[in-house]
Amino acid sequence: MGRIKVAVSGAFGRMGREVCRAVLNEESLELVGAFDLQGEDEDIGEILRKKPLGIKIEKLSKESLKKVQPDVMVDFTTPMSVIDNIELALQCGVRPVVGTTGITQVDLSRIGRWVDASGLSAIIAPNFALGAVLMMKFVSIAARYFPQAEIIELHHDQKIDAPSGTALKTANIIIECREEDPPERDELIKLSGARGAVQDKVHIHSIRLSGLVAHQEVIFGGTGQTLTIRHDSIDRQSFMPGVIFAVKKAASLQGLVYGLENLMDW
């Protein structure tokens, strides 16, 4: 099999640039396209402070996709555009690998139908950091033994969705793995939102500050003890091994995969 041809949607952004670098550093992959609304007509090589590559940033469209003919399109854009991007990729015979968060269960149902109709594959992951995937695996074990859990997720101040996709997925894992519901208790809430958002009795607290990248801790409570499971991404490079892993998997898969853990051997 020849090299997998990859395009990046959201290439001008911080995550998009890291993806472009990672693809260029992987011998089995070939960067063929870069899409974004910003940086149009700029050479992606120069944006990455490398020599010009002859790949200029374009707006994502059916025409631009068909021109570069990628096998896989990696998407790190915004919750407002990602669904349209996925649909467009599948219509053009391109397999999407998506790290953009803000995708709902309703969205996933629609995407699943599009993927099935196309006969292709799509991989959507709330978090591509392998450590975060392991964190969620450990959470699935702990949730069976601790009746209470709360999630604190911390991200950079440019992240526009809250809670994060990772936090929502972690809450779902806790709910699915619980042996019983947590005990009911009365609360005197003096300030609205003080206890965070609640998803099926799991409290989620979101923090947005400059200086952060992506962090999450899950605190479990039981009789006379607590257990904290925490993961920290201190650099965006932490997501790249997972992205490259997903791109390689997508080229030979069929169907929709939600969550990197479903591609891993446990």
Please confirm, yes or no, whether 231 is among the known catalytic residues.
no
For residues 90 and 85, what is the distance between their CA atoms, to the nearest angstrom?
Answer: 9
Closest CA to 6 of 32, 28, 35: 32
- Are the beta carbons of 152 and 219 closer than 8 angstroms? yes
Amino acid at 260: L
Amino acid at 137: K
For residue 186, what are its two tokens?
A: 């009365």
- Are the beta carbons of 114 and 90 closer than 8 angstroms? yes
User: Under 8 Å CB-to-CB from 214, ≥6 apart: which residues?
Assistant: 127, 129, 132, 154, 155, 156, 164, 166, 232, 233
User: Looking at 56, 137, 156, 159, which residue is catalytic?
Assistant: 159
Please confirm, yes or no, whether 203 is among the known catalytic residues.
no
- Strand 72-75 vs strand 121-124: parallel, antiparallel, or unpaired? unpaired
Residues assigned a catalytic role: 155, 159
